[in-house]
Amino acid sequence: MGLTKQYLAYKPVSSFNIIASARANISFVTISNAVGRYVVVAAAEKVFIWDMRIGEKVVEFVRDKQEVTFLRTCPDHKLLAVGYSDGVVELFSIESKQSVCSFASHRSAISAIHFDLLGLKLVSGGLDNDLVVSDVVAQTGKCRLTGHTAPITQCCFMQRFQDVVVSSSKDTQIKFWNIETQCCFKTIVDHRTEVWGIVLMRNDDFLVCATADTQLSVYKITSSTDANQPVQPVVAAGSEHLEEESTVSPFRCTAAGSIQRAGHGRTINLVADGNGQVLGCHGTDRKIELFYFCSQEESMKKLTKRMKKLDTNKQNAEEPASGRQLTLSDEIKRLTTIPTPEKVKSFDLLLGSRNELRICCTFMKNLVQLFSLDLNVKKDAEPETLYTLQKQGHPSEARTVSFSSDNLAIASGSAESVKLWSRASQTVLRTVETGGYVVSTCFVPGDRHVLVGLKTGQLLVVDVVPGEVIECIEAHEKELWSIVLTPNKHGCVTGGGDTTVKFWSFELIAGSDGPDGPKVLSLLHKNTLKLEETVLSVRISQNGKYVAVALLDTTVKIFFMDSLKFYLSLYGHKLPVVTMDISYDSTLIITGSADRTIKIWGMDFGDCHRSLLAHDNTVTTVQFIPNTHMFFSCAKDGKLQQWDADSFLKIVTLSGHLGEAHALAVSPNGKYVVSCGSDRTLRLYHRTEEPLVLQDVQEEEREELENATLATGEESTVPGLPGLRLPSKKTIGSEKGAENILECLEVSKQYEEKGGKGPLPPLMFAYSATNVDEFLLTVLSRIRASDLEESLLLLPFSAVCELLERVPKLTIERKDHTELICKVVLFLFRVHQKPIVNNQVLLPVIQKVVQTLQTAVEELRDMVGTNYHAAQMLQRELEENDGCVLFRDATKQRIQRDRRRKRREASKRKFLQVIK
């Protein structure tokens, strides 16, 4: 065997700089019974829980390289539902910080998630126009609701009416669905523009809808079977027409009027607190509008007060208020508007026990803010800003990164500031406002100063220790695209958009304290190289002989460093060269261009050694690993790749950014790589001691590519069942599950043909099974619950018959898995009913399956009932021992006495549910 060159693997350490993504929403979360202190936000592909009081990240959830699009906490605050851009809903346990289950429900990004009142069911809406209801306990999909013709914008469960889901869509419609019948029984088509949000208020008394205009439509919901009809019917503004209700609907939904917003533009978000008392909304401007929905008693008081003011006749004033009509002005009260520093992307509301309203907001500029509003103040309540998270990251995308010479600090520049980070802890050390758009950074030898190039052409000298700009030099007339140190570390070279390359030397000059005070660093201009085109990048060879300049005319020109005479011209790229680098031994130069290629050139003759089609978009940065001929590249396709310039082979592709990758930097010791991108993250990688073999890496990448495409196609179709709409989608897991079942049946059949004697098959031994029945049950139980139906759907009918033949014996021997066996059998019967009925050979098998399953289910039901009533008996014995009364009336009286006692105690002491 010949010698194989081995490489060391680079692994991701962490991603930092991001506080909250603008695409997903924000939500309050309760940890350790602390309410109003923690918020959960999306951070690219991760989910963070921030402690707003101390400004620190306390919990982090990670799934895959898919962007988070929606968040929702369970009503009991034990589970967190996270929707991703690939249509998967993942449930995480907040306490254990682990994934509980996963629902592969949609074919595109999740746009809405909502739990029912008890947190047992979950409804999700996606950009594929569908709604999927999932069972949280069984961890499987329940049904798929199709009917909307545009992406879903919001969906929610009704509290008063069980198994009813309300959904809104960009198709301008609001639909009411019955989960049991899986049909839409009512549609509201009053709107002419997209419905961007809906919310149910005051225990489903009102439905508020947000559209593209500045008004919020309000609908009154009343039960059609309620004997006690509401005394005061709500009349729509300017109309007394009540729409006819369908007899199928369990309630009546009547237009009650509209709420005029004070903001401009369309309504972006519509959010209510947990009890449905306070409604918040915001548009395209910098304000959050709040509305309070009064209770029935408060509304009647407002009506009586209003009528007394209007009545001038004493006889009319003595009429009972029950004969009057409630309007929206009596039901809804406008609260103080919350002004915000930037345009709001999302927000959430929380109403505390002391009538303190908390509002947490995310903004486009990587910012989270928490406001407080006291609702006990009747008029002119001023909102208070409690906490703000903004120093933990750049407000805009980071465009450039660089390492210090000791590998301990990272400098990153954005549109308004430069931040210095600790490489070890990924925390911010200094933030320096630059007053301009940063396009290049470079550490000065000694790591006490950082050179910053701005888009205006200015060159800033930043002192790291105090974190301030000590000098601003007008270096170029246009963008300062590149800063590079000279090999002797005595100066630097800059290239700008004004077609010049300038040479600078470092000088120590007297500071503001005079000649006797400490000296400060400054730059002294030594020479200028004038060119004909815009300079995009500058590099100097390590031997100090050459300076390479990348120009806008797609060429790279190399000059002698001492005389600035022309030496070579590298021509071959079809589009401008954006980035380049020279190897440590000054023998190779690599160039990356907007034509997606990386070219490797020789410095001696300027010949192109190889042209690599490296990326799918513009190459933004290339940089050699120090003292090697290996280099890293990043591009606007978000990928980071490692290459070997000697063998011209790609070594590995690292998990990159969700959007574009703007820049990368390799540490001077070659152990670390940091990159920045449009997803607002800085990603750090470190070199491990794990060796890489190129053949193995290429094989893994090929397998990942094959796994990304489904071998059986995207659609789940069954002959004879064209309308089958499963509440799941076909995934790699379901295909693997079907393969495992087929393999299990084949191995079991071969083992039984041998008489079931001899050594166990290796696969059966791997599953720790001693017989074929246990083997089959283990394979079925290891398939994820959300993928089980899709796996069974992929089985051929011959395998279905074999599976059904094994069910009776399996049911008798393993009664502890009766639920799983029933689920498998019922689904197979539902899907393959006609061929199973027409197959006479399966008739005795079906009869035996029905008999054994009925017996097993009855035994399971008896066991559950016995345990339930035994638990009740134990409860009664404990109550008798404690001296409690078992009669229902006495229990009610005791509960009422306890409530009165708790209210008295709460009035005596200060009790805050919302924690500051």
pLDDT in tens, 805-842: 888 888 888 888 888 889 899 888 888 888 888 888 88
Instruction: Judge contact between 670 and 628, C-beta under 8 A.
Output: yes
What pLDDT is recorded for position 195? 94
% of the chain beyond a pLDDT of 90:
55
Measure the CA–CA gap between 452 and 449, rounded to whole angstroms.
10
The answer to whether residues 599 and 474 belong to one domain is yes
Instruction: Judge contact between 636 and 622, C-beta under 8 A.
Output: no
Measure the CA–CA gap between 602 and 582, rounded to whole angstroms.
10
Phi, psi angles (nearest 5°) of residue 849: -60, -45
The answer to whether residues 572 and 672 belong to one domain is yes
| Of 561, 605, 615, 611, the residue nearest 591 (C-alpha) | 611
Which structure tokens are listed for 703?
């397998």
Mean pLDDT is lowest, of 141-155, 288-302, 727-741, 872-886, for 872-886
Is residue 237 pLDDT above 60, yes or no?
Answer: no
Which structure tokens are listed for 21?
């993504």
pLDDT in tens, 492-525: 999 999 999 999 999 988 776 666 667 788 999 9
The answer to whether residues 686 and 779 belong to one domain is no
Measure the CA–CA gap between 166 and 70, rounded to whole angstroms.
18
Is residue 635 pLDDT above 90, yes or no?
Answer: yes
Instruction: Judge contact between 486 and 543, C-beta under 8 A.
Output: no
Radius of gyration from C-alpha coordinates of the chain:
34
Cα atoms found within 13 Å of the Cα of residue 507, Cβ hemisphere only: 11
Task: Give the residue ranges of DSSP H helices in 783-887.
Answer: 788-793, 797-813, 818-831, 833-838, 843-881
Q: What is the mean pLDDT of the chain?
A: 87
Measure the CA–CA gap between 403 and 405, rounded to whole angstroms.
7
The answer to whether residues 535 and 491 belong to one domain is yes
Mean pLDDT is lowest, of 9-13, 226-230, 605-609, 893-897, for 226-230
Instruction: Judge contact between 606 and 588, C-beta under 8 A.
Output: no
Strand segments (E) across 533-648: 535-540, 546-551, 556-560, 566-570, 577-582, 588-593, 597-602, 608-613, 619-624, 630-635, 640-644
Residue 20: inside a domain, yes or no?
no
What pLDDT is recorded for position 350? 93
The answer to whether residues 617 and 667 belong to one domain is yes
Measure the CA–CA gap between 424 and 638, rounded to whole angstroms.
24
Residue 783: inside a domain, yes or no?
yes
pLDDT in tens, 193-223: 999 999 999 889 999 999 988 899 999 999 8
Instruction: Judge contact between 454 and 464, C-beta under 8 A.
Output: no
Host H or E run for residue 295: none
pLDDT in tens, 339-358: 999 999 999 999 987 888 99
| Of 440, 424, 392, 418, the residue nearest 663 (C-alpha) | 440
What pLDDT is recorded for position 213? 87
| Of 258, 262, 186, the residue nearest 224 (C-alpha) | 186
% of the chain beyond a pLDDT of 70:
90
Determine the 3-state secondary structure of 58 from DSSP.
strand
The answer to whether residues 523 and 607 belong to one domain is yes
What pLDDT is recorded for position 876? 85
pLDDT in tens, 13-43: 999 999 999 899 999 999 988 898 999 999 9
Host H or E run for residue 665: strand 661-666
Determine the 3-state secondary structure of 786 from DSSP.
helix
Task: Give the residue ranges of DSSP H helices in 653-783.
Answer: 694-708, 732-753, 762-766, 772-782
Q: How far is CA 31 from its chain centroid?
A: 20
What pLDDT is recorded for position 719? 58
Q: Distance of CA 551 to CAs 504, 529, 530, Å?
A: 20, 13, 12
Q: Is the dihedral of CA 20, 22, 24, 26 positive or negative?
A: positive
Measure the CA–CA gap between 839 and 498, rounded to whole angstroms.
83
Task: Give the residue ranges of DSSP H helices in 236-327.
Answer: 296-310, 314-317
Query: Considering its fold, how many domains does the chain have in total?
Result: 2
Per-residue pLDDT, averaged over 701-713, amounts to 72
| Of 263, 299, 301, the residue nearest 283 (C-alpha) | 263
Which structure tokens are listed for 3?
């010698």
Higher per-residue confidence, 797 vs 439: 439
User: SS3 string of 199-235?
Assistant: EEECCCCEEEEECCCCEEEEEEEEECCCCCCCCCCCC
Q: Give the list of residues 6+ apart from residue 396 with CB closer than 8 angstroms, or none.
A: 365, 366, 414, 415, 416
Per-residue pLDDT, averaged over 440-461, amounts to 94
Instruction: Judge contact between 104 and 133, C-beta under 8 A.
Output: no
Higher per-residue confidence, 367 vs 328: 367
The answer to whether residues 736 and 645 belong to one domain is no
The answer to whether residues 441 and 553 belong to one domain is yes
Cα distance from N-terminal residue to C-terminal residue, the chain: 68
Measure the CA–CA gap between 207 and 212, rounded to whole angstroms.
17
Instruction: Judge contact between 748 and 810, C-beta under 8 A.
Output: no
Residue 653: inside a domain, yes or no?
yes
What pLDDT is recorded for position 515? 66
Residue 615: inside a domain, yes or no?
yes
Name the one residue in this structure whose structure tokens are 């063998």: 647
The DSSP secondary structure of 534-547, one letter per residue, reads -EEEEEE-TTSSEE
CATH number at 644 reads 2.130.10.10
Specify the DSSP class assigned to residue 851. Answer: H
The DSSP secondary structure of 412-443, one letter per residue, reads EE-SSEEEEEETTT--EEEEEE-SS-EEEEEE
Measure the CA–CA gap between 874 and 880, rounded to whole angstroms.
10
What pLDDT is recorded for position 347? 95
Measure the CA–CA gap between 300 and 321, rounded to whole angstroms.
8
Cα atoms found within 13 Å of the Cα of residue 455, Cβ hemisphere only: 12
Instruction: Judge contact between 669 and 626, C-beta under 8 A.
Output: yes
The answer to whether residues 538 and 650 belong to one domain is yes
Residue 222: inside a domain, yes or no?
no
What pLDDT is recorded for position 11? 93
Higher per-residue confidence, 710 vs 47: 47
Per 3-state DSSP, the chain is made up of helix, strand and coil in percentages (nearest 5) of: 20, 40, 40
Q: How sure is the predictor about 229, in pLDDT bands with cuts at 50, 70 and 90?
A: very low
Measure the CA–CA gap between 856 and 849, rounded to whole angstroms.
10
Q: Which residues of 97-123 are buried (b: 16+ CB within 10 A; e: fewer)?
A: eeeebbbbbbbebbbbbbbbeebebbb
The answer to whether residues 513 and 658 belong to one domain is yes
Instruction: Judge contact between 24 and 345, C-beta under 8 A.
Output: no
Cα atoms found within 13 Å of the Cα of residue 896, Cβ hemisphere only: 6
Residue 890: inside a domain, yes or no?
no
Q: How sure is the predictor about 1, in pLDDT bands with cuts at 50, 70 and 90?
A: very low
Q: What angle do CA 863, 869, 875 make, to 5 degrees?
A: 135
Task: For residue 633, count other CB atoms closer than 10 A to its CB.
Answer: 25
Residue 101: inside a domain, yes or no?
no
What pLDDT is recorded for position 226? 58
What pLDDT is recorded for position 816? 84
Domain end call among 809, 829, 857: 857
What pLDDT is recorded for position 321? 44
Per-residue pLDDT, averaged over 845-874, amounts to 90
Which structure tokens are listed for 718?
């069954």
The answer to whether residues 548 and 606 belong to one domain is yes
Is residue 559 pLDDT above 90, yes or no?
Answer: yes
Domain end call among 701, 724, 741: 701
Residue 594: inside a domain, yes or no?
yes
Residue type, 440: S
The answer to whether residues 737 and 828 belong to one domain is yes
Which structure tokens are listed for 774?
């246990």
Q: How far is CA 495 from its chain centroid?
A: 40
What pLDDT is recorded for position 317? 44
Torsion of CA 341, 342, 346, 349, to 10 degrees: 10
Which structure tokens are listed for 415?
């549109």
Is residue 660 pLDDT above 90, yes or no?
Answer: yes
What pLDDT is recorded for position 303? 83
What pLDDT is recorded for position 843? 86
Domain end call among 857, 889, 904: 857
What pLDDT is recorded for position 906? 63
Which structure tokens are listed for 584?
């440590």
Q: Distance of CA 360 to CAs 20, 280, 450, 529, Å?
A: 12, 11, 36, 54
Is residue 457 pLDDT above 80, yes or no?
Answer: yes
What pLDDT is recorded for position 723? 58
Mean pLDDT is lowest, of 244-253, 534-543, 730-739, 872-881, for 244-253
Expressed as residue numbers, the domain containing 619 is 428-701
Instruction: Judge contact between 218 and 256, C-beta under 8 A.
Output: yes
Q: What angle do CA 189, 190, 192 make, to 5 degrees?
A: 95
Residue type, 85: S
What pLDDT is recorded for position 244? 46
